[in-house]
Amino acid sequence: RPAEPVYVPKGENKVAFDIPPNYLPESRQQMAPSIVNRFAEGTKSKVQVKQISLPDLSVPLQLGRREPFSLFIPKHRKLAARLIDIFLGMRTYEDFLSVSVYCRDRVNPEMFVYALSVAILHRPDTKNLPIPPLSEIFPDKYIDSGIFARAREEANVVPAGSRVPIEIPRDYTASDLDEEHRVAYWREDIGVNLHHWHWHLVYPFETDIRIVNKDRRGELFYYMHHQIQARYNCERLCNRLGRVKRFHNWREPIPEGYFPKLDSLVASRTWPSRPAGAVLKDINRPVDQLNFDLQDLERWRDRVYEAIHTGAYINPRGERVPLTEFGGIDVLGNILEASILSPNQNVYGDLHNLGHVAISYCHDPDHRYLETFSIMGEPATAMRDPIFYRFHAFTDDVFLEHKNTLPEYSLQQLDFPGVVITDIGVQTPNQAPNQLSTFWTKSDVDLSRGLDFTPRGAVLARFTHLNHSDFSYRIVANNRNNAPRRGTVRIFIGPRQDERGLPYVFRDQKELMIEMDKFTVLLRPGPNTIERKSTDSSVTIPFERTFRNLEDSRPIGGDTLDQFNFCGCGWPQHLLVPKGKEEGFPMDLFIMISDYTGDAVEQDESTGCKDAVSFCGLRDRKYPDARPMGYPFDRRARAGVETLPQFLTGNMAVVQINIRHTDTILPRVRTGSMNNTLTFN
C-alpha cells in the first residue's frame, strides 16, 4: 500500500522525520545525534523518509541559501520551475516526501516553499494537504521587524500558554504627513497580501505548461487585478484621496515613497525603501542575469497597443492572428503578464513581470550597492506599496483599451426575457435598511512556525484590521414566464460620486464597480424573494481560511480539511466592504439576474472548494461562468447610455446604499455553524 500524506495538526506538533543520515546537509552530518535530533524530543511518532536515488538538483541549487528569491526575476523563475518539475515528477508520494526533505536544508528556503507549495497544490496525491499560510512560514514578509525581537524575548522568558499577544502598532510604516498613508491599513492588510500570494501560487506564469495552462488564466489575471484596482480606488475615495493615477511614463519620478520596515529573517537583510521622487533606470545586474532597458519596456508596451488597435497580434511565424471578441482578452492577459502562454515573447516581451522588476530595483539598478529588490519584487509583499496600484492602473488601462474595441452589449445580450427585478436592498441586523457598517477588529497570527526559537509554543502577534457587520441581500424578482427559469445573480457596488463630489457617468463608474457576489438561482413563475448572506460571497473566503488557523480548522458548515487548500485563494472576508466614512459613504448597489442559458458552462460538478470562484476559479475545472469576466461592466455601454440608471434592463436594479464607518475596535465574532461561537480578543 503506498504511503499517504500525513497531516500534522498544529498544536500536536509531535511528529519527527526519520531521515537517512546522508540527507542531512554535509555540515551537520558530523554532529552528535543528540544535537541533530534535539527538535525531535518529545515526539510521539516518526515519519520514515525513504532513501531514494536523488534527482539532479544542480539547477535549483544555483540560487544561494541566503539570497532573496523573486518570482518576477526570470533566472529565479527558471530555477523554481525546475524544482517544481522535480517535485511533480516524483512517481510516488513517498519519493516526493523524500526529495522534499532532502531539499529542505539545501535549497534556497523561499524558493523551496514556493516550489513545494505549487507542487502540493497540483500533485494528485497531495492536493488535499493544507499548505500553511505564508504569514506563518515567513512572518517577516507581513509583520514589522521590530516585533520579532519582542517575540523572541516573549518566547524565551514567558512559558507557552502564559504569553500575551504582541501588539502590532497600526501606524508603523508612515505618518499622516504622507497622504498615501491613509490607505496603508488596506495595502498592508495581511489577508490581502496572502490572497495575492495565493492567487499567483494557483496561477503560476512559468512552470510545467499543464499547470500554467488553466482555463482563461490570462483573462483572470486581468479581471482579478482589475477588481483589486476597483476596490483600492473605492477605498481611496472613502479616505478623501483621488483615484490612482496610472504610472505609464516610466521616465517620470515616482512621487510615492515607501518604507516597508520589514526585515527578511531568511536572507538577513532589510527590504529596501524607496524615497519619494525615485526614478527608474535601465537594469543591468549580472548577478541576477538581468539586462534590459526602459526602452525595451516601452517597445513592448507600444507593440501591445499596436496589437490592440489593429485587433490582431503577431505570431512567431509573423502572421497576424485576430484578438477575438471573447478569447482576445485571455491572449492579451498572457501577453502582458507575460506567462509562458504568451504567443510571442520575442515581440511582446515580459512587460508586467519586468515592470515589477524595474520598479523593485530602482534604488540599485546596476547592483553597485549590492542591494536586492524591494517589496514590489515579489507577489507576497507587492500590494503593500502604493506604486503597485499605479503600475497596475497602467496594465488595467491596457486591458481597457482592448475592451473598448469590442462591440457594446446589445439589449438582447443583457436582458432576461420575462424576468423583472422589482425590489433590492441590503439589511444589516439592528440597522436602518440599506446601510452597511464597518469598524476595526483585532486578530492574532501565530508567528511561532516562522521563528526558530527554542522554547516552542504559540507566539502571537495581534494586528488591527478593517471589518464589517455581516449583512444580507434581499432581491424580489418576478418571473413572468410560465415555467421556472434559471438565472445568475450578479451583485456589484460602486461609488456614486467622484473625488469632487460630482455624480459618476457610466463610463467612469463601471470601472469602479466592485464585485460582491455571484450565484445561480431558480426562479419559479411569479414573484420570488431571494435572500443571500454576505458571508456566502463568491469573492471571499472566511477569516479562518485566509489565515488557515489550523488550530481552529474544525469543520465549518460541512467544510473539511481537504478543502483548505486551493481554497487559500480568495479575497479576505474582512475586506469585503470598503471602509466608508463616518458620516456615511453613498454607493450604488447594482443587482442583475442574467439568463443562465448564456452563463452556463457544461462540466462536472466541482468537488473542491468553491468559495471564491469569481477571483480564483475552480480547481481542475473550467471557469464556471461563460460570460466575459466583469460582465456586464467590462465593455462600453450601448449608444445613449450616460448613467447607470440608463443602462438598466428589466432584469437589473440599482439602489443607493450607505457605508458608515465607526472608528472603534469591536470584537470579531466567528461566523459559520460552529458548535461553539468563539470571540477573539
Q: Which helix (H) or strand (E) holds 284?
A: strand 283-285
Q: Provide, rounded to whole angstroms, the least separation between the CB of residue 203 and ligand CUO.
A: 9
How far apart CA 164 and CA 508 sit, in angstroms, is 48
CB 135 within 8 A of CB 292: no
Q: Provide, rounded to whole angstroms, the least separation between the CB of residue 292 and ligand CUO.
A: 17
φ, ψ of residue 285 in degrees (nearest 5): -130, 90
How far apart CA 17 and CA 561 sit, in angstroms, is 22
How far apart CA 499 and CA 235 sit, in angstroms, is 12
Q: Does 356 bind ligand CUO (CB under 6 A)?
A: yes
Q: Provide, rounded to whole angstroms, the least separation between the CB of residue 247 and ligand CUO.
A: 12
Q: Which residues contact 223 (CB under 8 A, 6 or more apart)?
A: 615, 629, 630
For the CA atoms of 185, 187, 189, 191, the dihedral, rounded to the nearest 10 degrees, stands at: 150
Q: Does 196 bind ligand CUO (CB under 6 A)?
A: yes
DSSP label of 241: -
DSSP label of 244: P
Nearer to ligand CUO by C-beta: 97 or 569? 569
How far apart CA 307 and CA 548 sit, in angstroms, is 42
Could you tell me how many helices (H) and strands (E) the chain has, helices first?
Answer: 21, 22
Q: What is the largest CA-CA distance in the chain?
A: 81
CB 594 within 8 A of CB 637: no
* Distances in whole angstroms, Cα of residue 612 to Cα of each of 380, 493, 623: 19, 17, 11
3-state secondary structure of 292: strand
Considering only residues 272 through 291, tell me which ones interact with ligand CUO, judged by CB under 6 A. Answer: none
Q: Does 201 bind ligand CUO (CB under 6 A)?
A: no
Nearer to ligand CUO by C-beta: 214 or 392? 392
Nearer to ligand CUO by C-beta: 24 or 340? 340
Q: Provide, rounded to whole angstroms, the least separation between the CB of residue 391 and ligand CUO.
A: 7
How far apart CA 366 and CA 364 sit, in angstroms, is 6
φ, ψ of residue 112 in degrees (nearest 5): -60, -50
Judged by phi (left if over 0) then psi (alpha if -120 to 50, else beta), residue 516 lies in: alpha
Nearer to ligand CUO by C-beta: 81 or 387? 387
Nearer to ligand CUO by C-beta: 68 or 379? 379
Q: Provide, rounded to whole angstroms, the least separation between the CB of residue 75 and ligand CUO.
A: 18
Considering only residues 517 through 546, tell me which ones interact with ligand CUO, judged by CB under 6 A. Answer: none
Nearer to ligand CUO by C-beta: 225 or 510? 225
Q: Provide, rounded to whole angstroms, the least separation between the CB of residue 354 and ligand CUO.
A: 11
Using CB under 6 A, count the residues that bind ligand CUO: 8
Binding mask 310-349 for ligand CUO (x = CB under 6 A): ----------------------------------------
Q: Provide, rounded to whole angstroms, the least separation between the CB of residue 325 and ligand CUO.
A: 25
Looking at 76, 187, 198, 352, which residue binds ligand CUO (CB under 6 A)? 352
Q: Is 337 a catalytic residue?
A: yes
Catalytic residue of the set 206, 337, 378, 511:
337
Q: Does 77 bind ligand CUO (CB under 6 A)?
A: no
Q: Provide, rounded to whole angstroms, the least separation between the CB of residue 71 and ligand CUO.
A: 9
Q: Provide, rounded to whole angstroms, the least separation between the CB of residue 658 and ligand CUO.
A: 32
Q: Which helix (H) or strand (E) holds 587?
A: strand 585-595
Helix axes 74-89, 109-122, angle to 10 degrees: 50
Considering only residues 212 through 241, tell me which ones interact with ligand CUO, judged by CB under 6 A. Answer: 225
3-state secondary structure of 291: strand
Neighbours of 430 (CB within 10 A): 7
Nearer to ligand CUO by C-beta: 353 or 434? 353
Nearer to ligand CUO by C-beta: 200 or 627? 200
Nearer to ligand CUO by C-beta: 199 or 416? 199
Judged by phi (left if over 0) then psi (alpha if -120 to 50, else beta), residue 47 lies in: beta
Q: Provide, rounded to whole angstroms, the least separation between the CB of residue 382 and ligand CUO.
A: 5
Smallest CA-to-CA distance from 664 within 69, 161, 170 is with: 170
Neighbours of 31 (CB within 10 A): 11
Binding mask 369-408 for ligand CUO (x = CB under 6 A): ----------x--x---------x----------------
Nearer to ligand CUO by C-beta: 352 or 384? 352
Cis peptide preceding 267, ω within 30 of 0: no
Under the rule (CB under 6 A), what is the footprint of ligand CUO? 196, 200, 225, 352, 356, 379, 382, 392
Residue numbers annotated as active site:
337
